[in-house]
Amino acid sequence: MLTLEDLDSLLSQNNVVVFTTYRRDGMPQQSLVTVGKIDNSLVFTTRSRNAKAFNLTRDPRCALMIISTDRRTFAALDGTAEIISSNNSDPEVLRLRLREVFELASGKQHPDWQEYDRVMIEQRRVIVSFNPNRIVGHNI
């Protein structure tokens, strides 16, 4: 069975992934997200009022697909996600974690952290922490 560590090379090529949650009626809702890796989780931010956040609050099951830039290698991951927000995290811890997710996903420092913090609060951003239960891949 593959692990997240086995996907490091693939993620270094392309960390913009297809993320799937499930609507109330069971139909999939997909979007592109830019992820970073923390321990055994893939993380990204989203607005608290986006469909992803609503769907995950109701049903933490989700899936993710990573595709190489030449489209010859991919990994499909099934698992669950946790939403980290001001509802379940200390505001200072959340602020620092949002910064960490930005750095991991973008691979760089933000040019103005105060502006970043302000925008995160304005947009009511949350962190989605995806924990895979199963990983299958092709050409990994």
Confidence of residue 114 (pLDDT cuts 50, 70, 90): very high
What is the residue range of 131's domain? 4-138
> Does residue 88 carry a pLDDT above 90?
yes
Residue 58 and residue 33: Cα distance in Å, rounded? Answer: 20
Reduced to 3 states, what is the DSSP secondary structure of residue 24?
Answer: coil
pLDDT of residue 47: 97
Q: Where are the beta strands (DSSP E) in the chain?
A: 16-22, 28-34, 36-38, 41-47, 61-67, 74-84, 125-138
Residue 71 and residue 69: Cα distance in Å, rounded? Answer: 5
> Does residue 109 carry a pLDDT above 90?
yes
pLDDT of residue 6: 96
> Does residue 96 carry a pLDDT above 90?
yes
Give the residue, 39 or 135, on which the prediction is more confident.
Answer: 135
48-72 as b/e, with b when 16 or more CB fall inside 10 Å?
bebebbbbbeeebebbbebbbeeee
pLDDT in tens, 21-63: 999 999 999 999 999 999 899 999 999 999 999 999 999 999 9
Domain count, the chain: 1
> Does residue 1 carry a pLDDT above 90?
no
Q: Domain of 28: which CATH number?
A: 2.30.110.10
The answer to whether 32 and 17 have CB atoms below 8 angstroms apart is yes
Prediction pTM value? 0.95
